[in-house]
Amino acid sequence: MRRLLRQHGHGPLAASIKSRYTRTMREQQLSNGCVHWDALEGNFPVHARH
């Protein structure tokens, strides 16, 4: 996903997608987040690790 975003000129958006811990789900999830605060944005994980 990050590679595709970068290829199409969306580098800053690609930087906001990474694995973060969510207390609600009590696990790491690939998510969209704030690049300044490293906080989750919304509650729509991209992919949950199992």
Q: Which residues have a Cβ under 8 Å from the Cβ of 13 and sit 6 or more positions away?
A: 5
pTM, entire model: 0.53
Q: What is the mean pLDDT of residues 36-40?
A: 78
Comparing CA positions, the residue from 23, 22, 12, 15 lying closest to residue 47 is 22
**Residue-level pLDDT at 45:** 54
Can you list the alpha helix ranges (DSSP code H) found in 1-50?
A: 2-7, 11-15
Sign of CA dihedral 30, 34, 40, 42: negative
Q: What is the mean pLDDT of residues 7-34?
A: 83
Indicate whether 16 pLDDT > 80: yes
